[in-house]
Amino acid sequence: MVKGRRKKRKATHSPKFLKTPVKHLLEAGTLEDMQHAKRSTGENLKYHWKYYAELAGQRSAVAGNINQALVQTCISYQFKNWQRAVKYKYGLHPFSTEGSLSYIGGRFNTGKSVNPEVPAFPGLYLAKDKDTALQEHLGQQINGDRAKLNLSAQERALTNPSSETIVSVSGNLDKVFDLRTHKNLNGFINQIKDFVLSKELIEMATRLGMQAPGVVKTASTLFKMLLDPHWRQVPSNFDVPANSQIFGYLICMAGIEGILYLSKFTGKECLVIFPMNFVGTNSYVALDDEVAHSKTPIKIDAINWRLCGMGAKEIIGS
């Protein structure tokens, strides 16, 4: 080993514990930039809330007519050996709807994190087969490294590391809104197509550089909105329910037990069920196989529908 003077290290602005200089900042900008961004975000949220509130007020004024239009198109529906996929923690009580209330909720129900001014309500989701159940439950959840891969919905579902429980379910519903065709939306559209938006809202949209707000005029347009693959963007970004969640709420408030629709992934039938509307009906859902625990509810009907709002620990015990 040759001895000699050590070379002086070039000074850097990196902290002593870093081995390499800092080359990138996480954020850059002035205080004025940050204040402007905050104002813009606030104005956007205010606009979307006003848009939602104006239409909600007009729907409320004709609530009776809307209910009648929705109920008139309902059908009775019997299903056998359908599939329900739930997170593993709900495995001992697969009829629990607690999971549907988490974060922003599901396609046709609103979760607790959307907006405190908007009522959250649960939904029980089923699919005709296992593949559809898994894709509906897991295929739309893209995060981490999987978001960078060009995977199909089925591949995303199969590569999702979450633990799942899938159970076979049969049942009968007295009143279901059939959303497999846009024609069943005609009566509802007739009640909302003449709604009017305020001049102030339109001016807000212009000021924010947004497309002028409008009211849905046709059943085919609404049909596409309700089955929009990107429905999550609205409640996630703007703090108001998506169109499909608003529609689900109207269906639920009309006393209808569920919505029958086609999966955006497989085209197979899916159901969202509102157990609170089982009261006074012959509707029910039941497990097809033996249960994992003697206290696990086997059947949900007009008498015990409240069990859906409970978790496994409440029913079975810790």
The identity of residue 48, as a single letter, is H
What was the pLDDT predicted at 251?
98
Distances in whole angstroms, Cα of residue 141 to Cα of each of 80, 157, 211, 267: 28, 8, 29, 18
pLDDT in tens, 145-163: 444 456 665 666 566 667 8
Say what percent of the chain tops pLDDT 70: 80
Percentage of the chain with pLDDT > 90?
74
Span 91-105, pLDDT tens digits:
999 999 999 999 999
CA distances from 102 to 110, 121, 123, 194, 316 (A): 9, 10, 11, 34, 21
Q: How many Cβ atoms are within 10 Å of 262's Cβ, its own excluded?
A: 16
CA angle (193 as vertex; 192, 196 as ends), nearest 5: 85
pLDDT tens for residues 204-238? 999 999 999 999 999 999 999 999 989 999 999 99
Determine contact, residues 160/149, Cβ cutoff 8 Å.
Answer: no
Q: What's the token pair of residue 191? A: 């009640």
What pLDDT was estimated at residue 41?
A: 84
107 with 244: CB under 8 angstroms? Answer: yes
The whole-number pLDDT of residue 138 equals: 81
Residue 3: pLDDT over 80: no
Which segment of 160-164, 184-188, 239-243 scores lowest on mean pLDDT? 160-164
Structural domain boundaries in the chain: 32-316
Lowest mean pLDDT among 2-11, 43-52, 106-115, 224-233: 2-11
Return the closest-CA partner of residue 67 out of 217, 247, 240: 247
- pLDDT for 316 equals 87
For residue 14, is pLDDT > 80? no
Q: What is the pTM of this model?
A: 0.84
The yes-or-no verdict on residue 253 having pLDDT over 50 is yes
